[in-house]
Structure 1
Amino acid sequence: MPPTSTDAFSFSGDWSGQLVATAIHTGHDLRDDIASHLVLDEDTRLREEDPFTDLIGAECPARVVVHRSRFEVDLNRPREEAVYRRPEDAWDLHVWREAELPDDLTEGSLAVHDAFYAALGERLDAVAARGPFVLYDVHSYNHRRDGADEPEAPGGENPEVNVGTGSLDRDRWGDVVDVFMSTLAGTDTAGGEIDVRENVRFKGANLCAWVHERYPDHGVALALEFKKTYMDEWTGQPDRARIADLARALGQTVDPVLRALAATGGSGQFARG
């Protein structure tokens, strides 16, 4: 089970450098008033969250972890879409006791959305003041949706790591993306080299778009979707060794990516901080 926290989100690590990792869907916590209206069962909710993505990003120098469940507020959606009010907002899942969540509860959740982006913006403004930066937006995705005993989705359409660059200016920052992908793919793990491909399943969503809009000359946001081969997506049981492998592999991309960033769009040589 993901760790709990009284805070909606937290910042950690060394923010004096130019690379940040976020885990905005790893949270499982709910406000008490939200939890009392929820009818979605625990297993389904956990399956649609991104457990352990905070651990995958743990070797990156600066980190953001969101502790609240996406079923309270989805920070990877625009504000007006960030609360799942109806089943069609949440993959046709029946989430709430009522036909729609009451407005006062919705506003409380949107306040978390506002607070998160305000706090992250304040942090990233200081990072951007030093020059271009990279943000790893770490997520995960299911690949056994047909059932626990059914075959997994075809590997050709489901890379182990999908790198989403849909809102990125690739003409300017393409070398940074290429270095990231080649470094991560070339990392030797217990499961062999990592299958890393771009925009196969996902192209990135609100957080990356927000970074690119707010910091058009400085922000390089990569939406990283790790296939849930590091856990059993039906039981929630983690493979701790595989998580450690992926964390190490992602951590090893930091220095090459920062060198590529400095060569492509920055002045001077960036370091971890």
Structure 2
Amino acid sequence: MERLSVEAIISKINAEETFHAVSEDYSLTLKINDYVHYVCGAVHDGHQFRKELWDNCLHTEYERWYEEDPETKTMIASHPIVIAGCDSRFEYDLNRTPEEAVFETAWGKQLWKQPLPHDQKQKSLNKHVNFYKVVHALIAKLEEKFGVCVVYDMHSYNWKRWDREVPTWNLGTSNIDNERFGEMVEQWRQYLSKIELPHDIKPTSKINDTFQGNGYFLKFITNNFKNTLVLATEIAKVYCDEYDYIIYPEVVSAVEKQLKEQIPKHAASFYKKHHI
């Protein structure tokens, strides 16, 4: 992996170079082993939290971890194109608009002892802007090259706080073209329902059951690129104990191993049906 400016990353994308880079400010990573018609993204994988923010933050490290999506990058790490955020969504949330990306309150609790100074807020927002410059360049290149693209937008959610049975996998589809892509959504739901996990975890998968796919990552790509399908894919945090702050690596590994097979299979089916 090399450390590159955002401009250098975009230049490499435009030149169709393969590379594995972290941005100069350590806010994002992008791996391109091969130019293919699908991307895996993990915008909430990051846990970094700038040290200058620590003393002003009312939330504990555990509270931040609880709302992040740990290990979602690991689950997709083997694929040819992987983009991920490195910073905690408590610094700035890549899945919210620039206007809403820096929280004042988070999950019902005030985030800062004192309002963030303008320069600290701007530093966070600049990272948000740079991430989307890279996303735009990447999807533009793939649409130019293949005509269509599919993005697997990986997230996780805290299932224990629901007062009803919730699915192991949820697809959020309220902001995509379901008339055009509905068959591919249903196929992806079926593929996820076949993923076998340790400890007798039920492989249930539903559409818009817990979340509807209202994230900015999905909306940004969908609004800017007419031939790219973004599949907001949420796994319940069955791969960790969300209350005791423990990751179950054997479950993460089982997810990664099976997504390694299911994602390319689904992406091939998508390309066959939708390429122009």
TM, length-normalised to structure 1: 0.86
Matching of residue 207 in structure 1 with residue 222 in structure 2: no
Q: Pairwise mapping of residues 41-60 of structure 1 onto structure 2 (< 5 A)?
A: 41-60=60-79
Q: Pairwise mapping of residues 91-170 of structure 1 onto structure 2 (< 5 A)?
A: 91-98=107-114, 100-130=115-145, 131-145=147-161, 153-155=163-165, 158-170=166-178
Identity %: 27
Report the 3-state secondary structure (helix = DSSP H, G, I; strand = E; otherwise coil) of the residue aligned with 1:21.
strand
Matching of residue 77 in structure 1 with residue 85 in structure 2: no
8 A Cα contact 1:175 1:260, kept in partner? no
8 A Cα contact 2:195 2:255, kept in partner? no
CA distance in 2, matches of 1:83, 1:15: 34
1:196-235 deviations in Å (ceiling 9; x for gaps): 111111111111111111111x111011111011001122
C-alpha displacement of 1:18: 1.0
C-alpha displacement of 1:171: 1.1
Matching of residue 30 in structure 1 with residue 49 in structure 2: yes
CA distance in 1, matches of 2:55, 2:75: 31
Match of residue 251, structure 1, among 260, 265, 275:
260
CA distance in 2, matches of 1:198, 1:120: 25
Match of 1:234 in 2: 243
CA distance in 1, matches of 2:263, 2:69: 22
1:156-203 deviations in Å (ceiling 9; x for gaps): xx1101111111101111222122111221233433662111111111
Report the 3-state secondary structure (helix = DSSP H, G, I; strand = E; otherwise coil) of the residue aligned with 2:31.
strand
CA distance in 2, matches of 1:266, 1:120: 21
CA distance in 2, matches of 1:134, 1:153: 33
CA distance in 1, matches of 2:85, 2:140: 19
TM, length-normalised to structure 2: 0.85
1:101-124 deviations in Å (ceiling 9; x for gaps): 222211111101100000111122
Match of 2:40 in 1: 21
Quickly say closer, same or farther: Cα 1:138–1:106, change in 2 above 3 A.
same
How many residue pairs match? The answer is: 251
Q: Please list every run of 5 or more consecutive structure 1 residues that lacks an aligned counterpart in the other structure.
A: 146-151, 268-273
C-alpha displacement of 1:97: 1.5
C-alpha displacement of 1:15: 4.1
Match of residue 188, structure 1, among 196, 210, 216:
196
Match of 2:206 in 1: 197
Stretch of structure 1 that moved more, 158-167 or 36-45: 36-45
8 A Cα contact 1:132 1:265, kept in partner? yes
Report the 3-state secondary structure (helix = DSSP H, G, I; strand = E; otherwise coil) of the residue aligned with 2:254.
helix
Report the 3-state secondary structure (helix = DSSP H, G, I; strand = E; otherwise coil) of the residue aligned with 2:238.
helix
CA distance in 1, matches of 2:193, 2:217: 24
Q: Which has the higher strand share?
A: 2
8 A Cα contact 1:231 1:237, kept in partner? yes
CA distance in 2, matches of 1:188, 1:34: 41
8 A Cα contact 2:91 2:124, kept in partner? yes
C-alpha displacement of 1:244: 0.9
Q: Please list every run of 5 or more consecutive structure 2 residues that lacks an aligned counterpart in the other structure.
A: 1-21
8 A Cα contact 1:162 1:226, kept in partner? yes
8 A Cα contact 2:171 2:208, kept in partner? yes
1:16-54 deviations in Å (ceiling 9; x for gaps): 101111111111112232234223111111111111111
8 A Cα contact 1:184 1:249, kept in partner? no
